[in-house]
A and B are shown apart, each in its own frame.
Chain A
Amino acid sequence: MDNIQTRVTLDDSLNALTDDLVRLSSKIDTAIEQSVQAYSNCDIELAQQIISEDTIINEKRFEIEERCLQIMVTQQPVAGDMRMIVTGMNIVTELERMGDHAAGIARLAVRVEEVPKRDVPGGIFQISTQCRDMLRRSVEAFIQRDASKAYAVAANDDNLDTQYRLLFHKTVAETRDASKSTDHLLSVLFVAHNLERIGDRATNIAERVIFMTSGKLTELNVYDPE
C-alpha cells in the first residue's frame, strides 16, 4: 500500500489542461502572425479564414473552462493545484481576447480599400514579432512554473509600449501629409493598437503565473495611457 500512486486522476487532468492551453496558445500565435500578413498583403481570403477561426477559438475557450470546473468539482483541489486551475481559467480568457484582437486586425484587412499590397510601416512587423514572442514566453513560464520568466515578459512589455508610442506619433504626423490616405493611416493605428493590447494580455498571463507560483496577486505593468 505504501507504493500506491496517489493523485493519478488529478495529475492526468492537470496535464491535459496544460496541453489544451498550449494548443490554444499556438493557434492564437498563428492567428496573430497571419492577421498581420493578411493585412499587409491585402489577403482577403486569409483574413476571412482568421475571422471564421475565431469562432473555434471561442468554443475551445469554453471547453477549457469546463474542464477546469470539472476538475474543481470532482477532485476538490487545494493550494498549488487550485491556483493552477484558477490560473488556467484566467489564461484561457486572455488567450480568447488575444484571438479577438487578431480577428480585429483581420477585419481591418478586409475593410480598408483594396490595393495589391499596403505600405505597412516596419514598426508593425516589429511589434507583432515582439508580442508573439511575449505570448510564447508567458505560456512557457506557465508550463515551467517559472516566475522569473514571467517577470521578464512584463519587462518586455515596457519595450513594446515604447515602440507602439513611436509608431503612433509617427503615423499621426503622417496624416498631415496630403499625399497619404487617412483611411490607411488610421487602419495602421488600429492594427498597432490591437497588437499593443495583445502584449498587455501576455503581461496579464505573466501576472497569473506569478500568482500560481507564489499565491501573490501582483500588477506588473500599470497601463500608462501616455
Chain B
Amino acid sequence: MVNIAKTETKISIDHLYVRYEDDGTESLRDIHFDIPIHAITALFGPAGGGKSTLLRTLNRLNDMVDVSTRGSVLLDGVDIFSSNIDVVTLRRRVGIVFAQPIPLPFSISRNIRYGLELAGENRRSRLDDAVERSLRAAALWDEVKDRLGDPAIALSGGQQQRLCIARVLALEPEVLMLDEPTSGLDPISTAKVEASLQLLKQDYTVIIAPSSIQQTARIADWAAFMLQGELVEWNRGEDLFSAPRNKKTEDYITGRFG
C-alpha cells in the first residue's frame, strides 16, 4: 500500500469491518487506508461495493440501522466509535451531501441558516455572514445573491445540489462527504459542482463517491477502488488511472466489467 508522504492524515481507517445484522451481509471487509487532509479522496466501484456504507460509517449515520462494526476509524487520531464521542458533534465535523438534493421548504437563505439556528446561533450578523460565506464556497452566491428570499425549491437541480453543499458548509465541517452528488445533474451543473470541490478541498477534507468513472478520473487526488466490500486498490488518482496495479481495477476502469 502507498503511504501518504508528507501529507497530513485526516481520517485513518484501520481494518474496518461492517456487517448489516438484519440480513447478516458483511458490507465492508478489512478496509484499511488513510484519507489525507486538503485533498479529494474518491471511493469508486460498481454498485454494492460498500462506498455508501463506508461514507455512512465515517460520521456514524449507520448507527441508525442495525450494523455491527469492527476495527477503528480515527478522526484526527481519535476513534469515532469510542464511547465519549458525541455523535451530533461528529456529524457536524463530518458532513454529508446525498445524490438527491432535498431543499427544505424554506427560502434559500433560511435553508443555509437552519442548521446553525438549530445549533443555537441567533445573531443576525453571524447568520448572514454564514449564508454568504457558504454560498460563495459552494459556487452559488453569484447566481442567488439577489433572491435569497425566494423559495429554495425554485432553484434548478444543479443549484439545489450546490445549496445542499452550502447548507453543510454553513456548519463549518472539517470533512465534506458527497455521495454521487452529480448523478442527476446536467454537464454544466456537474462541472460547477466539480469546480467548487476543487476550491473546497483547500479548506476541507473532501470524500466523494463520484457519479461515474470519468468523474473519478477528473477529480480524484486519491482514488480508492471498492469491490464487493473490499478495498482493491488505493493510489493517487493520476497513477491509478494511468497504470493501475490490480487487474480488477484495470478491468473495471477500462469497461471490461461493471
B250/A79 in contact, CB under 8 A: yes
A76–B215 CA distance with the chains assembled, in angstroms: 11
Q: Restricting to B202-248, which residues have a CB under 8 Å from any CB of A?
A: 213-214, 217, 241-244
Give Cα distance in the complex from A214 to B242, angstroms: 10
Cβ–Cβ contact A215 & B214, under 8 A: no
How many residue-residue contacts, CB under 8 A, span A and B?
A: 35
Binding-face segment, A48-56, A80-88, A134-142, A181-189: A80-88
Q: Is there an interface contact between B250 and A80, defined as CB atoms closer than 8 Å? A: yes
Chain B residue nearest in CB terms to A214: B243
Asked whether, in the complex, the Cβ of A79 is within 8 Å of the Cβ of B242, the reply is: yes
Q: Are A7 and B242 in contact (CB under 8 A)?
A: no
Cβ of A216: which chain B residues have Cβ within 8 Å of it? 243
Looking at the assembled complex, report how far the CB atom of A65 sits from the nearest CB atom of chain B, in whole angstroms: 20
Closest B residue to A211 by beta carbon equals B243
For A115, list chain B residues within 8 Å (CB).
none
Which chain A residues (1-35) contact chain B, with CB distance < 8 Å? Answer: 6-7, 10
Contacts of A78 in B (CB 8 A): 213, 217, 241-242, 253-254
Decide yes or no whether B187 CB sits under 8 A from chain A. no
Residues of B within 8 A of A7 (CB): 254-256
Q: Which of A77, A79, A80, A81 has the most CB of B within 10 A?
A: A79
Residues of B within 8 A of A (CB): 213-214, 217, 241-244, 249-250, 253-257
* B residues in contact with A79, CB < 8 Å: 241-244, 249-250, 253-254
Question: Across the interface, which residues of B come within 8 angstroms of A76, CB to CB?
Answer: 214
Q: Separation in Å of the B5 CB from the closest CB of chain A?
A: 19
Whether A6 contacts B242 by the Cβ 8 Å rule is: no
Closest CB of chain B to A70's CB: distance in Å?
17
A-B contact pairs, 13 of them (CB 8 A): A6-B255, A6-B256, A78-B217, A78-B241, A78-B242, A78-B254, A79-B254, A80-B243, A81-B254, A82-B241, A82-B242, A83-B242, A215-B242
* Interchain CB contact under 8 A, A83 and B243: yes
CA distance A159 to B214 in the complex (A): 46
- Residues on A with C-beta less than 8 A from B255 are 6-7, 10
Most chain B beta carbons < 10 A, residue from A7, A10, A78, A81: A78
Q: Given A78-B213, A82-B242, A214-B243, list of 4 further CB < 8 A pairs?
A: A78-B241, A79-B254, A80-B243, A80-B254
